[in-house]
Amino acid sequence: MHRKALVFSGQGAQFVGMGKDLADRYDVCRELFCRADEVLGYGISRICFEGPDSELTKSNHCQPAIFIVSAACYAALRAETGDIAFEGLAGLSLGEWTALYAAGALTFDDALRVLEARGRFMQEACDEREGGMVSVIGLPMDKIQEICDSCGTEIANLNSDAQTVLSGEKSAVTEAARLAQEKGAKRAIVLNVAGAFHSSLMASAARRLETILDGIEILPPRVPVVANVTGEPHKDVDSIRRNMVRQVTESVRWVSCVEWLKSKGVNAYVECGPGKVLTGLIKRIDAAASLHNIQDSTTLSKTVQALGADDSEAG
């Protein structure tokens, strides 16, 4: 029997044109884009559909844009399948906000406002202190920690047993990449990002986000939502507020998130949002899992068909 989890995309998965196909085909998706334009007071839908890429990649545009597209993918899935059941929800970084929205913990409007502010605060933190990130592939954790201790970088993402992302000052990231190669990493890739996300360099953004969250109503999730910073479900509304502030400066424990879901019997995942980054990461963590993604009407159709076949086999 297939026990399913929903997962939601993070920053970096965006591309110009995302969401347009679903908005053209589904009224419920088109309404989300229209509502987003109203709430934000500018044409975020146009930036999603038409770009330019230089505008879409700005954090204050990118974060709400990915949220809207992911929410539209989820809405289209609901339109096709009705009240499909999921054992748990998770998302990578900003995707955790989408998971909280899908679980009924906050409204679409409030999630949108939070992510616009979060993206703006993080972009401004990047402008304050020049930082970067490096993806290290094929190096054990003891050597990763040696690199961090040596050059002052911090662990930003534990994406899989084979991939860890480090954050820090730009010069420290360059040195970390050199040391990783020296210590035998298969690859060390300096990422094309605006700054040192999920590190202490984002402290000013975390403080400002905490103030924003004080004015947002948050409800208990209807379905367990696994927290990035703990690898376990949020316990209550207060823990959601604390964990989502911590998430800005602390490590994303994606491996732990997937392992918790697996421990609850989850063996099928549906990724909602642009790209297939999470699908690729989950495959490395749980090779036996059934993996599906939704980013347009074609992938939606394939996923609905596959889920129906899974349920038929289970029956």
Q: What is the CATH number of domain 4-125+200-314?
A: 3.40.366.10
- CA-CA distance, 19 to 68, in Å (whole number)? 8
Read off the pLDDT of residues 269-314 as tens digits, 9 standing for 90 and up: 999 999 999 999 999 999 999 999 999 999 999 999 998 866 555 4
**Range list of H helices, 185-295:** 203-213, 237-249, 254-263, 277-285
Q: Residue 1 — pLDDT band, cuts 50, 70, 90?
A: low
**Residues 6+ positions from 242 with CB-CB distance below 8 Å:** none
For the chain, what are the domain ranges? 4-125+200-314, 130-190
Residue position matching structure tokens 């376990």: 232
**Nearest alpha-carbon partner for 73 in 302, 278, 294, 303:** 294
Which positions are catalytic? Answer: 93, 198
Quickly state the pLDDT bin for 79 (edges 50, 70, 90).
very high
Per-residue pLDDT averaged across 244-255, rounded? 97
Average pLDDT over residues 187-214: 94
Among 164, 231, 229, 169, which residue's Cα sits nearest to residue 200?
A: 169
pLDDT higher than 80, residue 315 = no
**Amino acid 193: pLDDT:** 84
Q: What is the pLDDT of residues 113-125, one digit of tens each?
A: 999 999 999 999 9
Query: What is the reported pLDDT for 74?
Result: 97
Quote the pLDDT of residue 27.
Answer: 97
Q: Is domain 130-190 classified as CATH 3.30.70.250?
A: yes
Indicate the SS3 state at residue 54.
helix
Q: Which residue matches tokens 């068909």?
A: 305
275-298 burial by CB neighbour count: b if 16+ within 10 A, else e? Answer: bbbbbebbeebbeebbbbbbbbbe
Pairing relation of β-strands 88-91 and 4-8?
parallel
**Is residue 95 predicted with pLDDT exceeding 80?**
yes
State mean pLDDT over 157-173. 95
Summarize the confidence of residues 240-265 as an average pLDDT.
Answer: 97
Distances (CA, A) of 150 to 132, 173, 177, 179: 17, 11, 12, 9
Whether the CB-CB separation of 151 and 168 falls below 8 Å is answered with yes
Confidence of residue 192 (pLDDT cuts 50, 70, 90): confident
Using DSSP bridges, classify how beta strands 163-169 and 131-137 pair: parallel, antiparallel or unpaired.
antiparallel
Nearest alpha carbon to residue 258 among 102, 12, 89, 66: 89
44 pLDDT higher than 80: yes
Q: Is the pLDDT of residue 81 over 80?
A: yes
At 186 the three-state DSSP class reads coil
Rounded CA-CA distance 199/71 in Å is: 27
- Under the banding of pLDDT at 50, 70 and 90, the label for residue 147 is very high
